[in-house]
Amino acid sequence: MKLTKEQQEEIKLQQSQENFTKRVTVKDLENLLYEAIPVLDHGFIRVIDYMGDDTSIVQAARVSYGKGTKKVSTDSGLIKYLMRHWHSTPFEMCEIKYHIKLPIFIARQWIRHRTANVNEYSARYSILDKEFYLPSEANLAAQSVNNRQGRGEVLSGDQAQKVLKLLKDDAERTYDNYESMLNQRYDGSTIDNNKPGLARELARMNLTLNTYTQWYWKTDLLNLMNFLRLRVDHHAQYEIRSYAEIMLDTLKKWVPITYDAFIDYRVGGTEVSAKGKSVINNIIKGKDINMEDSGLSKREWNELMSAFDLTEKIIE
């Protein structure tokens, strides 16, 4: 990730601000505020603003006047109870806003989470940065044979180099054509003073999906956790998971008690159906149970066995 000198100065200026407030603040998140945390090759995440903390959740749950009970253990117990029983509205009382730079193809995947306020950099008004995402060889993989959404074996050697060259050449060629159609270079200089440029809203359609875009993404704590629960999972696409893992760290700094409950009950926990519960009960009792008698499909059976580390019972 490269920031211009102007961007670096702007971040320093933002971080040097000191404002008096009667609102709750979180020291660990305040120390991180505005910092550009690198992601992938040219991306970043910045925490721009936030509202509330763990005590705000407790206060909302109890509809009280003060900052919770002032006893961390008691507040922790309540937050765990709320998380365990899927109470949602107290977590909606906290909000956070990020500034994110990401490849367009990840942005289009990300926007499917329709529970945030989003304002994206507009290529109708401005020229997009000449930056493209190119995966490292370690993350350059073939299509999975078993999973239509996933990756299979990692490419290597000449095959990997050929794919990377194709990605880079296509991105650079289409960007050169983008500049030519605009009649304007990335640095702002005009290519031909006697030739009008194509409208930016039309020229942009030629760019590859690994071109970087930027947006401001604001959401409440509940929907942030819903996003992270799906996107930090090992099944999630590597690129979006890279962003989610950094956001998970900001969650830990912001609301540490909620973070612990979230990791315990959402990220590290598992959901079990009534039939699945019956299967586990029978296994605990030492009864011989098989998939055919369980009422579960092969996929449901294997997911249940995997969740409880009963790998010997997984059916190939």
Give the separation between CA 189 and CA 180, rounded to whole angstroms: 11
Please tell me the predicted confidence (pLDDT) of residue 4.
80
List, in sequence order, every residue forming a beta bridge with 237; answer none if it has no partner: none
Helix, strand, coil percentages (3-state) for the chain, rounded to 5, are: 50, 15, 35
Q: Please give the structure tokens belonging to residue 268.
A: 């590290």
Please tell me the predicted confidence (pLDDT) of residue 189.
87
Whole-Å CA distances, 190 to 107, 203, 205, 211, 307: 30, 15, 20, 22, 59
The residue that leads in pLDDT, 4 or 92, is 92
SS (H, E, C) 225-236: HHHHHHHCCCCC
pLDDT one-digit tens code per residue, 127-146: 999 999 999 888 887 776 66
3-state secondary structure at position 96: strand
Give the separation between CA 174 and CA 180, rounded to whole angstroms: 10
When the pLDDT of each residue in the chain is averaged and rounded to a whole number, the result is 91
Give the separation between CA 31 and CA 268, rounded to whole angstroms: 28
Give the separation between CA 99 and CA 213, rounded to whole angstroms: 11
Question: pLDDT band for position 68 (50/70/90)?
Answer: low
Whole-Å CA distances, 205 to 71, 116, 199, 293: 56, 25, 11, 55
CB 51 within 8 A of CB 45: no
Percent above pLDDT 90 for the chain: 70
In the annotation, is 23 catalytic?
A: no
N residues, the chain: 316
Q: Looking at residues 140-168, what average pLDDT do you find?
A: 80
Which residue is catalytic, options 46, 200, 204, 231? 231
Tell me which residue of 43, 41, 59, 39 sits closest to 51, measured CA to CA.
Answer: 59
Whole-Å CA distances, 159 to 149, 169, 173, 218, 261: 21, 15, 21, 40, 44
Angle value at C-alpha 21, between 57 and 253, nearest 5 degrees = 45
Q: Domain coordinates of the chain in residue numbers?
A: 5-126+210-267, 137-206, 274-313
Please tell me the predicted confidence (pLDDT) of residue 137.
85
How far from the centroid of its chain's Cα atoms is residue 196's Cα? 40
pLDDT one-digit tens code per residue, 73-121: 789 999 999 999 999 999 999 999 999 999 999 999 999 999 999 999 9
Give the separation between CA 227 and CA 115, rounded to whole angstroms: 9
User: What Rg do the C-alpha atoms of the chain give, in angstroms?
Assistant: 24
Give the separation between CA 107 and CA 110, rounded to whole angstroms: 5
Model confidence, pTM: 0.90
Class of domain 5-126+210-267: alpha beta
Give the separation between CA 122 and CA 230, rounded to whole angstroms: 28
